[in-house]
Amino acid sequence: MSTRKEREREAHRRDILDAAEKVFILRGFHKATVEQIAQEADFSVGTLYNFFKNKEELYIEVLEKITEEFRGDFERNVKGEPDAVRALENLIVLRVMHWDSHRGFFRIFLENAPGSQMDPVPAFPERVREMYRSYLVEVSKVFERGMGQHVFRQADPLYLTLCLEGITNASAAYWAQHGTNEPLEARIEKVRDAFFRWIEAVSPPAGVQESR
Amino acid sequence: MSTRKEREREAHRRDILDAAEKVFILRGFHKATVEQIAQEADFSVGTLYNFFKNKEELYIEVLEKITEEFRGDFERNVKGEPDAVRALENLIVLRVMHWDSHRGFFRIFLENAPGSQMDPVPAFPERVREMYRSYLVEVSKVFERGMGQHVFRQADPLYLTLCLEGITNASAAYWAQHGTNEPLEARIEKVRDAFFRWIEAVSPPAGVQESR
Amino acid sequence: MSTRKEREREAHRRDILDAAEKVFILRGFHKATVEQIAQEADFSVGTLYNFFKNKEELYIEVLEKITEEFRGDFERNVKGEPDAVRALENLIVLRVMHWDSHRGFFRIFLENAPGSQMDPVPAFPERVREMYRSYLVEVSKVFERGMGQHVFRQADPLYLTLCLEGITNASAAYWAQHGTNEPLEARIEKVRDAFFRWIEAVSPPAGVQESR
Amino acid sequence: MSTRKEREREAHRRDILDAAEKVFILRGFHKATVEQIAQEADFSVGTLYNFFKNKEELYIEVLEKITEEFRGDFERNVKGEPDAVRALENLIVLRVMHWDSHRGFFRIFLENAPGSQMDPVPAFPERVREMYRSYLVEVSKVFERGMGQHVFRQADPLYLTLCLEGITNASAAYWAQHGTNEPLEARIEKVRDAFFRWIEAVSPPAGVQESR
DNA sequence: CATGAATGAGGTTTCATTCAT
DNA sequence: TATGAATGAAACCTCATTCAT
């Protein structure tokens, strides 16, 4: 059986992706060099090209890797949670923890969010955008569900989603600025707080209070 | 008088800045080439370098140009407005209109906001960051003022500021996605609404209602 | 009469040449920019081009200006001095003073001396080299004269000339290194001393002593 | 063993250095283009940059290569020779042969000698100057030794060194002008002769004659 | 004659990608 | 598969020179 080899190959692949994530976070897509990533991964440049077609592909795969790690919890605790309010709470926990462990890599979604033309990493036209889009759609569905349950007042769910994104990201920036001395739980609490204050204003207070 | 020449030079400078803004928005800092900007401005590359020391400097000057256009209104309608709630309302109007006319260039501030390591445009270390920092401080002061007037409950003003930023940017992204068929007023109204729903939760409802 | 204008033009020309000498000495031919020279001369770049075909031409003219200043004294005190030893003494005085007032510009001759391929200022192929060549020839003639007068022993006069150049330049470098706190006369004395010690070994001691 | 590759790489490095020396000699630092050197070395431009950080570094390495070739013999035959007169004789042989095989590249030291402001190759500030400085110091020590041995009269040893440099360079220039038809030995003889005639005048004749 | 803005060729340098070993 | 030397396109930037005013 060639399973040993396959497992080894898979491990190498993961090593490269981890190294790439590290360097991309540190230097950004354009300033990160393939050479640096190779060194970080303890492979030669050539080897990277045995695993990934090119730098862009590598970058996308990093995103997908991160998303994949995110998706599992997301499916279980957000999509799978029938109570909309609890689903959102879980989402916030997930999102903040995720930001924490990937040090802001998630921001990439914001930067490549539809509408940002700012510094588009060259032409991942669809794959990445699609990933984020589907994430937004899923969260939107949670809001829709909440409205269906009459827990929230009617509003454009995508709009709500984007605002949640905005608050989360702003909070993350806030911490990044003030250092990470605050413990994770406190930070999660803070975002949850901030967000639900906002959402309370949108939904009939009673409904929300009931669901908590 | 050599005013004619001077005025002409100033006009050319502005032409270049406008062209640069256009190309930077379209392609991002790293992918925008000086050649492209020159072509857009209908000048030769060398001419750009007669006006600006290098690409980075040109980029910074674009930011400053935009900020300058923003600053006047900001001073008058936000800093100068004694009523904190009205000041924030004005800020939202300003911010949305500004986003509209510069098609998301303002996002650059977000991307260079403290905490973003994503794709750091090389070394505008201080000048740009300082610009945004002072902007954040000014908005924070509005919140402080509001708290002093007991219109808002006590909270970290910088935190509130960042959340406002988050909501504004998220909304902008939302419109960018859905196109600009919605009229400007409607969009301003929407952000104002979204934000004050959030802020209402923070401040005692009575106070806010009075000031509206 | 257009003499006033002509004199003015001549004055401007000289101003430019002086400025050019200054900048060329300070930065070298390749790193000196026309812009810098123009500023130093208090003219615009365009004006320089009304006087000189191009940078190279300007450089050559600087050399010629310096040579011209040198030539007069040279003709009188070296070529015109019938006593060969005294002629050489005068040459040394001239050479050292000249080095002093033009701060090593003379070295340019060394660097463009036949045989140096080092950093050839682009293609003054013949004019400059010719100038230096003729200078060497003239000095050689002094040695020849000395040999004809049986003041020096027979030797290749060009070779003697080059050695004199070598000693002079080496001495100049020595002072440049130790600063110029030594007065001019002392320095002249030192070169004279060094050189005549050398030449004494070549010529029959008696002959030299007589002529001094 | 990966020695084959390593040896190959070293060979390539040497090829590039040789090509660089050739082009630098032919065209000078400023006019030599990296492109030309690459062509001469039969490599692409990029490859040069895999071996050397930049043009300047390449230039310095060429100097160091040459110096290195010089240093060995210098240590053995000049520094290591206890007899000062013989040491100087050896130095002359070395210097002339070296000039011969590197076609005047050594002149670079003269051009970068302290005091030359002429055409400063940008910023090898210290490394190169230091190399030449230490060379001058070593030669000076030989003179000092000679004075200690009472073979030469007292004089500033650095000054003597510079004069030796001057004579050597002048002689080299002389040959460069007249072509290389004269055999190497004859030329060495000529410099030795010229220099010792000069040094004899400085030192008490008896002492020198004894040592020859 | 004086100006100085405009030009653009040409130089240096970087780095993603390939390919022979 | 792993390597890393070689490649060369493409970017930024400089500066001598021109020319309309």
pLDDT tens column, A132-176: 778 888 999 998 988 888 777 677 787 778 778 877 777 776 676
**What pLDDT, on a 0 to 100 scale, did the predictor assign at position C179?**
60
Q: Does the pLDDT of residue A55 top 90, yes or no?
A: yes
For D18-57, how does the pLDDT look when each residue is reduced to its tens digit (9 = 90+)? 999 989 888 878 889 999 999 999 999 999 999 999 998 9
What amino acid is encoded at C77 in this protein?
Answer: N
CA distance B211 to B208: 5
Contact between chains at D120 and C27 (C-beta distance less than 8 A):
yes
CA distance B104 to B180: 13
Top CATH class, A1-52: mainly alpha
* Range of lowest pLDDT (A104-108, A193-197, B84-88): A104-108
Nearest to B113 among A122, A173, A200 (CB): A173
Q: Which two tokens stand for residue B90?
A: 């004005």
d(CA D66, nearest CA chain C) in Å:
15
CA distance A175 to C208: 90
Q: Most D CBs within 10 Å: which of C139, C163, C171, as the mutation test of the D interface?
A: C163
Classify each residue of A165-197 as buried b or exposed e, where b means 16 or more C-beta atoms within 10 Å of its C-beta.
bbbbbbbbbbbbeeeeeeeeeebbebbbebbbb
On the CB side of C111, how many CA atoms lie within 13 Å of its CA? 26
- Considering only CA atoms, which of A195, A88, A98 is closest in space to residue A139? A88
The answer to whether the beta carbon of residue D50 comes closer than 7 angstroms to any atom of strand F is: yes
Average pLDDT over residues A21-28: 84
Q: In terms of CA atoms, which chain B residue is nearest residue A113?
A: B173
The answer to whether the beta carbon of residue A209 comes closer than 7 angstroms to any atom of strand E is: no
Q: Does the pLDDT of residue B113 top 70, yes or no?
A: no
Nearest to B115 among A31, A105, A172 (CB): A172
B68 three-state secondary structure: helix
Interhelix angle C55-73/C3-31, rounded to 10 degrees, is: 110
For D111-137, how does the pLDDT look when each residue is reduced to its tens digit (9 = 90+)? 544 334 444 544 454 566 677 778 888
Q: Which residues contact C100 (CB under 8 A, 6 or more apart)?
A: C180, C184, C187
CA distance D74 to D67: 10
Residue ranges of chain B that CATH labels 1.10.357.10: 59-211
Residue ranges of chain D that CATH labels 1.10.357.10: 64-211
Which residue is listed with tokens 């000041």?
B87
Q: Which residues contact D129 (CB under 8 A, 6 or more apart)?
A: D112, D114
Distances (CA, A) of A124 to A35, A127, B148: 21, 6, 48
Classify each residue of B59-86 as buried b or exposed e, where b means 16 or more C-beta atoms within 10 Å of its C-beta.
bbbbbebbbeebbebbeebbbebeebbe
Nucleotide nearest C45, CA–C1', reads: E4
Helix (H) or strand (E) segment spanning residue A57: helix A55-73
d(CA B159, nearest CA chain A) in Å:
7
Q: In terms of CA atoms, which chain D residue is nearest residue C180?
A: D115
What is the pTM (predicted TM-score) of this model? 0.80
B38 pLDDT band (50/70/90 cuts)?
very high
Neighbours of B8 (CB within 10 A): 11
CA distance B119 to A27: 7
CA distance B58 to B124: 11
D104 three-state secondary structure: coil
Three-state secondary structure readout of A170-205:
HHHHHHHHHCCCCCHHHHHHHHHHHHHHHHHHHCCH
Residues on chain B touching A158 (C-beta within 8 angstroms): 174
CA distance C136 to C99: 16
Length of chain D: 212
Q: Would you say domain B59-211 falls under CATH 1.10.357.10?
A: yes
Distances (CA, A) of A113 to B28, B63, B107, B207, C182: 14, 21, 11, 37, 74
**DSSP per residue, C120-144:** --TT-TTHHHHHHHHHHHHHHHHHH
Q: Most C CBs within 10 Å: which of D96, D119, D200, as the mutation test of the C interface?
A: D119
C2 pLDDT band (50/70/90 cuts)?
low
CA distance B166 to B171: 8
Q: Determine the straight-line distance between the first and last CA of chain A, rounded to whole angstroms.
A: 53
A209 pLDDT band (50/70/90 cuts)?
very low
d(CA C67, nearest CA chain D) in Å:
17
The answer to whether the beta carbon of residue B44 comes closer than 7 angstroms to any atom of strand E is: yes
Q: Which nucleotides of F are covered by protein (CB under 7 A)?
A: 1-20
Q: What is the DSSP letter of D75?
A: I
Residues on chain D touching C165 (C-beta within 8 angstroms): 166, 170
- Establish if B155 touches chain A: CB-CB under 8 angstroms: no
Residue ranges of chain A that CATH labels 1.10.10.60: 1-52
**What pLDDT, on a 0 to 100 scale, did the predictor assign at position A1?**
54
Contact between chains at A159 and B119 (C-beta distance less than 8 A):
no
What amino acid is encoded at B173 in this protein?
Answer: A
- Judged by phi (left if over 0) then psi (alpha if -120 to 50, else beta), residue C119 lies in beta
Contact between chains at D176 and C103 (C-beta distance less than 8 A):
no
What amino acid is encoded at C212 in this protein?
Answer: R
Q: Determine the straight-line distance between the first and last CA of chain D, rounded to whole angstroms.
A: 54
Q: What is the mean pLDDT of chain B?
A: 77
**DSSP per residue, C54-120:** SHHHHHHHHHHHHHHHHHHHIIIIIIS-SSHHHHHHHHHHHHHHHHHHHTTTTHHHHHTSTT--SS-
The answer to whether the beta carbon of residue A31 comes closer than 7 angstroms to any atom of strand E is: yes
Residue D84 burial by Cβ neighbours in a 10 Å radius (0-12, 13-18, 19+): buried
Q: What is the DSSP letter of A149?
A: T
C171 pLDDT band (50/70/90 cuts)?
confident
Percent of chain C with pLDDT over 70: 73
CA distance C2 to C9: 11
- Considering only CA atoms, which of A150, A195, A146 is closest in space to residue A168? A195
C contact chains, 3+ CB pairs < 8 A: D
For B124-160, how does the pLDDT look when each residue is reduced to its tens digit (9 = 90+)? 545 666 777 788 889 999 989 888 887 776 777 877 7
Q: Which two tokens stand for residue C208?
A: 């030299």
Nearest to B201 among A122, A159, A197 (CB): A197
**Contact present, B5 and B13 (Cβ < 8 Å):** no
D and C touching (3 or more beta-carbon pairs closer than 8 Å):
yes
Contact between chains at A163 and B166 (C-beta distance less than 8 A):
yes
φ/ψ (deg, to 5) at A9: -55, -45
A and D touching (3 or more beta-carbon pairs closer than 8 Å):
no
Residue ranges of chain C that CATH labels 1.10.357.10: 63-211
Residues on chain B touching A176 (C-beta within 8 angstroms): 114-116
CA distance A70 to A20: 18
The CATH architecture one would assign to domain C63-211 is Orthogonal Bundle (1.10)
For C98-131, how does the pLDDT look when each residue is reduced to its tens digit (9 = 90+)? 776 765 555 555 544 433 444 454 445 466 667 7
Nucleotide nearest D58, CA–C1', reads: E12
**CATH number for the domain formed by residue range(s) D64-211:** 1.10.357.10
d(CA C77, nearest CA chain D) in Å:
24
**Contact present, A121 and A139 (Cβ < 8 Å):** no
Three-state secondary structure readout of D145-186:
HHHHCCCCCCCCHHHHHHHHHHHHHHHHHHHHHHCCCCCHHH
Q: What is the DSSP letter of D49?
A: H
**What pLDDT, on a 0 to 100 scale, did the predictor assign at position C177?**
57
- Considering only CA atoms, which of D167, D185, D187 is closest in space to residue D175? D187
